[in-house]
Amino acid sequence: MYLLSCPNCQADVSVTPAQAGDSLACPSCGESMVIPTLGQLRKLPRVETESDRPETTAVNPGSNIGFTAMMLLSVIALLIAGYCGICWAAISVDQTQESHIAEIVEHYGEAEPGAMILEFEHMEAQALELTAPFDYQIVIEKKANWGRNAAISGAAAVIFAIVGLTLVKGRRST
């Protein structure tokens, strides 16, 4: 914007380059005044308003590094979550505890009485506690661990992304 002086009352009037060559009423005295052409207008003193000045924000280099680090950690956690999710989906659980019990009940129904007596004597000789889990229980546990790791990594990725975006928001507001 340019500062133009009224020829009647000498009041200062701000005009924009788009108004060059037009006429304008003076806000002080109300008299009509002619705004000079653009070439003559550029010779007048400039007045900077708030909208003319470019916005300058102090950039904190620490927040740039923090944002980059948080986003990098977020991407790494997201990749880990994806890998764990793929491993979780790749494991198929064919047998559960219920199906295992149903299989044993079915087997006992088909077994001969002599074989049942031998198995009962074998059970009396062995301790009732299991020394190791069944194979299907190990598979179920592995699948649950992969799922848990995928969920934890996904949550970490979201948290890192939120912290990184908060750093950017804090940087823009200052």
Domain boundaries in the chain?
2-41, 61-173
| Per-residue model confidence (pLDDT) at position 130 | 64
**How many angstroms separate the Cα of 160 from the Cα of each of 75, 147, 170?**
9, 20, 15
Average the pLDDT over 63-91 and give the result: 94
**How many angstroms separate the Cα of 149 from the Cα of each of 38, 86, 99, 145?**
68, 11, 27, 6
More confident residue, 97 or 61: 97
- Flag the least confident range among 21-25, 93-97, 158-162: 21-25
Average the pLDDT over 83-92 and give the result: 96
Q: Give the DSSP per-residue string, 77-129.
A: HHHHHHHHHHHHHH------HHHHHHHHHHHHHHS-HHHHHHHHHHHHHS-SS
| Per-residue model confidence (pLDDT) at position 149 | 98
Residue 169 to residue 90: CA distance in whole angstroms: 40
| Per-residue model confidence (pLDDT) at position 139 | 93
| Per-residue model confidence (pLDDT) at position 82 | 97
| pLDDT (tens digit per residue) in 138-166 | 999 999 999 999 999 999 999 999 999 99
Where does the pLDDT of residue 173 fall: very low under 50, low under 70, confident under 90, or very high at 90 and above? low
Q: In angstroms, how far apart are the furthest CA atoms of the chain?
A: 127
Per-residue tokens: 37? 């052409």
Where does the pLDDT of residue 19 fall: very low under 50, low under 70, confident under 90, or very high at 90 and above? confident
Residue 42 to residue 154: CA distance in whole angstroms: 59
pTM over 0.85? The answer is no
| Per-residue model confidence (pLDDT) at position 35 | 78
Cross-strand bridge partners of residue 23: 34
Average the pLDDT over 89-117 and give the result: 85
| pLDDT (tens digit per residue) in 58-68 | 556 666 888 99
| Per-residue model confidence (pLDDT) at position 87 | 96
Mean residue pLDDT of the chain comes to 82
